Amino acid sequence: MSIEQSNCIRRFTRLCSDGYEQGWHEGNGGNLSYRMSAEDIEVCMPYMDAKGNPWIENGVTVPNLAGSFFIVTGAGKYMRKVSIDLHTNIGIVEINQDGTAYRVVWGFTDGTQPTSEFCAHLLTHSANVANGHEEDRVVYHAHVSNSIALANVVPADSRTITRIIWKSMAEAIIMFPEGIGALGFYAPGSTDVAHANAELMKTHRCAIWAHHGAILTASTFDQAFGMMQTLEKSAGIYTACRAMCGGTEPLQLLTDDQLRAICASNDIKPNTAYLD
């Protein structure tokens, strides 16, 4: 076997390609990270080698991720190219025992470093572990057009955005019972966006970043893709409906009682802060 054949690398690569084919990853847009399980580490260990690579400051301190290994896309790299050239476009990094720094142990063969949004990824993984959601190992950021369009028109607050996503398509509330977090504008790649996002990710699994895209956390790569597709589809339905209504609020969105009925019949407990 080679590392390319391991489940974690194959599934990681597949999501990069799937997202690119959806049109979510223009240029170097978007990024992906995965916190490896003990089994993944065991499978990949024979191929990992720190080769004297330096420890590099994370920019954030994540003690509860000490000693973790992450597969992560590279800064400036294109999702389109991941499946074509794994070794330069993605890498595996190890976090040190203080949770303050990482070093490359596989991949990034041209000297690339992890994505510019690595701080946001690390703080999301850290929030998952702190909140008992260890099963959520995937963090995925994509430049999803309709979700970006949405926050160009309506206020980027979590309640407004959640209600739009829930009410435009019956099964969105099943995918996102905790709702969708929303952030106003932040410079991409900043530690500010990473910290603001981490606050939201304590209570949500998905957030829209105004003018920029969306980020979510999931337990599998398939779930991450499905969540991003659901968010983007619902946002697209809303924007189309709003255009059909001459730019005003669509007339026949799902009501709060209908949302409650969907939850009751699917045994889902929604975040009631976002219901009337």
Near ligand 2HA in 141-180, by CB under 6 A: 141
**117 catalytic per annotation:** yes
> Judged by CB under 6 A, which of 29, 114, 181, 270 binds ligand 2HA?
29
Buried b (16+ CB within 10 A) or exposed e, 93-131: bbbbeebbbbebbbbbeeebbbbebbbbbbbbbbbbbee
Near ligand 2HA in 90-109, by CB under 6 A: none
Near ligand 2HA in 212-271, by CB under 6 A: none
Q: At what angle do helices 145-153 and 221-244 cross, to 10 degrees?
A: 50
> Judged by CB under 6 A, which of 68, 89, 115, 147 binds ligand 2HA?
115
Pick one of ligand 2HA, Zn ion, none as the site partner of residue 116 (Cβ within 5 to 8 A by kind): ligand 2HA
Q: Which stretch binds Zn ion (CB under 5 A): 81-89, 127-135, 210-218, 225-233?
A: 210-218
In angstroms, give the least distance from the CB of 163 to Zn ion.
25
Nearer CB in complex with Zn ion: 104/215: 215
Specify whether the CB–CB gap between 212 and 206 falls below 8 A.
no
Nearer CB in complex with ligand 2HA: 28/145: 28
Task: Considering the candidates 117, 135, 178, 249, report the single residue annotated as catalytic.
Answer: 117
- Give yes or no for residue 31 binding ligand 2HA (CB under 6 A): yes
Nearer CB in complex with ligand 2HA: 117/136: 117
What amino acid positions are annotated as catalytic residues? 117
Binding site for Zn ion (CB under 5 A): 213
Task: List interacting residues with ligand 2HA (CB under 6 A).
Answer: 28-31, 115-117, 141, 188-189
